[in-house]
Every structure is written in C-alpha cells, then in structure tokens.
Amino acid sequence: MIVAPVPEEPPPPGLDVDGLPQAARNKTAISARNGIIFLGSISICYPQAKKSLVPNDQFSRIYNPAPKPYFFSSPRYNKQVMGRLIRGLAADGNLRVLAALTTDIAEEARTRHDLSPTPTAALGRAMTGALLLTFLLSKTPKERITLQFRGDGPLGGPIAEAAPDGMVRGYVKNTRVEPPLRPDGKLNVGAAVGQGELKVDRLLSNEELYQSSTELISGEIAEDLARYLWQSEQAPSAMLLGVRVHGQGEVQVAGGIAVQVLPDCPDEVVRQLEANLGGRSSITDLLLERGLEGTLETLLEGLDYQETDLSVVGYREGYIPLHFSCRCNRQRALNALVYFSPLERQEMIEQDGGAEVVCHWCGDKYQITPEEIRSLPTEEPVAQEVPRA
Ligand SMILES: [Zn+2]
C-alpha cells in the first residue's frame, strides 16, 4: 500500500509550471484521498486502490474506462480556432475595449469534464474572463494568468488559465453541482462558487510569479474580476461575461466583454458607459441576436467605438484566434511519478501493473507502463532540475 498523509481536502492547485504543479515540487503536498493521489492539478490513480472505491460524481470518469495501454491522441494539439477575440478603443481613446466569443471553448470544457449546466456556466465565464484579463494585462506573449475562485460553495473553483497565444484551459472540482436557480430563473453560479477569495497568479515573461488576491463580491465571476482589476491595476473596468446552455446542457453561446476606463477619462464618458451597461446582468441575448461586433455596437452606442485592425499586427483573419488547449503530455505525466519513493514506485509496478495519471486541467488520462516507471531516475530531482517548457 502507498502510505501518504490524508488531509481533509486535496491541496489547492498551484500554478502549473511545465506540467508539474508547484505543489508537486514539495513532496509534503502529495496526499492520498479515496485512493487517488493528488499532485496539485494532477491525480494519480492506483488500479489497486480503485477496487475498493465507490465511484462518485467527481471521480467516476477516472474509474470508468478500461486502461488503455498507451497514450491516446487528443485534439488538444490541434490548435483549431474555437473562439475569437477583438479589441478596440472608444471615446477618443479613453476606453479600452476587448470582446471575446468563446462558445466552442465553453462547450469543449463541458464535454471534456462532463459538466452539468451550472459548472459549465461558471467555468465558461472564468475561462472567458481569464482570456480578457490576459489581453488586458499581458505585456509580452510569454505571460500567463491563472484565476482561482476559492469560494466556500460546493463547486470547488472554477480554476482557469489563459495565455496571450489565445490558449485557455480550466476545470472545477465538482462537476455536477446544481444549486437551485436564482429568483430570476438563471443558473446560480454565485451560490455554487460561494464566498471567499479570487487568487490571481501572473507568471511574467521573466518567469517571476506575481500573486495577488481579492475578496469575492458575489462569486458570479464577472464582477469579481472587475473588482480585481480595480484593486490591482487601479483601473476602473466593466466586465460582462455570459454562458447560455440549452437542450441537454450544450453551450448555445458564450462570450464576454471588458471595458477599461483609462486615466483622465472625462466624467461624461464614464456616465454614458454606465448608462449603456447599467442593469445588464447578461450579454448572451445580445450575442445571440447581434453577434460579437453587434454586441459591442449596442453596448458602446454613442461612445464612438473603433475596432482595432488586428490584421496589421499579424492576425490575418482580423481577430485573435482562441482555443482550449492544455500543456500536459505523456512525459509530464510520467514526471509526476518522480515524486514517489522507489518503494512506492515498485508497488505501482508489482501490485498495480502501472499507474494512471489524470490531468485535471483537460481530463486527459495517461496509462503509465511498468517499463516507463522503471525508467525514472531513482533520485528525487530538485526543483531547479525540472525542465521548463
Ligand atoms: Zn491536460
């Protein structure tokens, strides 16, 4: 048997650096719970332990499939366009505007993680918000932003990460949480997320990690992110995020806009913006009726919005392409096992015939063979030796 401490909850996910979460670099972060070993955002599942487990909603996906002998291909490397982001200026350059259509990204997350409607909405909003924040704050293409909504609600998350190359990924811990609808009939994301804090990790291009956190206002994601922008950047911003599900829970439309008020913006511009956005709790109706550009026209009416021509900065299509993709791969999954002692690894080989490593970010599973486990170095690496991507 694998001997490991058993905490009440798995450790919080750290910023995933090169497929190995920061938590994984510290062996004390390894914990066993219900037969699953948590390493930050990676689970390692022991077939031996599985036998005594009762699958629940959270983990049944991990146990269901018969082990596959080798790495199975995944569409995550196919950088197909799943969404688009446009940007512009309004009110004589006093307002910065970003808008993203993320319907296929939210749907990809829903199917990968088998999400019910409220987690779909929460994660879709968080991923869209992470993308908008990335393009608002990032100074260079190498930066990365991770949002962790650490509320006391039943959802556990959402957690989303985005980068200026248009990639985004994310997950929630409990995929089937469905609190009662709000009085207005909408999905109650705030109740699922709960009260707590929003933790924002920014990995800068010089590899410095900049961490900050703000208190959650409502757990509804958009206003929490607007508050973060105000507190961290001293930039008043409006953010609207929306995900609409229909039918069997498929995503019908998802997207968001962010408007940042730049310094010295005249008061009348701010008042006009507030009048335009006031009382809007959702933009999905607008996105469905008028599309992304039409939504901006409506929301910024009277503010002389001018879309930036992105084709002159290298985006041939005139927009920034977005996609759900993950940086996990077989080698990183295998590397996660380095943090187990030679004895523990021997038990994996002899008792379990290998190990299964599951990436929480994207849901991909890796069946690690005994030969691969034997190929691992017997000495534990120090953090500096973990190669960067
Ligand atoms: Zn992954």
pLDDT, one tens digit per residue, over 44-62 is: 554 443 333 333 322 222 3
Q: In the predicted model, what is the mean pLDDT of residues 354-359?
A: 90
Spacing, Cα 41 to ligand 1 middle (Å): 9
Domain residue limits, the chain:
16-75+329-385, 80-324
Q: How high is the pLDDT of residue 58?
A: 28
Q: Which residue has the tokens 């607007």?
A: 226
| Residue 381 predicted with pLDDT over 70 | no
The number of angstroms, rounded, from the C-alpha of 6 to the middle of its chain's C-alpha atoms is 26
Ligand 1 centre distance from Cα of residue 206 (Å): 24
Alpha helix stretches (DSSP H) within 97-201? 103-113, 117-137, 189-193
Query: Topology of 16-75+329-385 in CATH?
Result: CBS domain Like (3.90.1280)
Task: Give the pLDDT confidence of 25-42 residue by residue, as tens digits.
Answer: 333 233 333 334 444 455
- Which residue carries 């049944």 as its tokens? 60
Q: What is the mean pLDDT of the chain?
A: 80
- pLDDT for residue 350 is more than 60: yes
The pLDDT, as a whole number, for residue 380 is 55
User: Which of 229, 249, 248 is closest to 239 using CA atoms?
Assistant: 229
CA of 334 from ligand 1 middle (Å) equals 13
Q: How many angstroms does the Cα of residue 332 sit away from the middle of ligand 1?
A: 10
- Cα of 362 from ligand 1 centre, angstroms: 4
Distance 152 CA to ligand 1 centre (A): 26
| pLDDT in the model for residue 162 | 97
Q: Considering only 165-179, 186-200, 339-353, which range has the smallest mean pLDDT?
A: 339-353
Q: Tell me, in angstroms, the distance from the centre of ligand 1 to residue 303's CA.
A: 42
Whole-number Å distance, alpha carbon 298 to ligand 1 midpoint, is 38
Residue 262 CA, ligand 1 centroid: distance in Å: 37
Percent of the chain with pLDDT over 70: 77
CATH architecture of 80-324: 3-Layer(bab) Sandwich (3.55)
Distance (Å) from CA 252 to ligand 1 centroid: 25
pLDDT at 17: 30
Number of H helices, E strands in the chain: 11, 18
pLDDT of residue 41: 54
Query: How far apart are the CA of 371 and the centre of ligand 1, in A?
Result: 22
Q: For residues 276 and 270, give the distance between their C-alpha atoms in angstroms, rounded to a whole number.
A: 10
pLDDT in tens, 210-263: 999 999 999 999 999 999 999 988 889 999 999 999 988 999 999 999 999 999
Residues 6 or more apart in contact with residue 348 via CB below 8 angstroms: 46, 337, 340, 354, 355, 370, 373
Q: What is the pLDDT of residue 104?
A: 96
Find the 327 Cα to ligand 1 centroid distance in Å.
6
The per-residue pLDDT for range 250-308, each reduced to its tens digit, is 999 999 999 999 999 999 999 999 999 987 767 999 999 999 999 999 999 999 999 99
Segment among 71-80, 177-186, 359-368 with least mean pLDDT: 71-80
Q: Which of 47, 46, 192, 184 has its CA nearest to residue 115?
A: 192
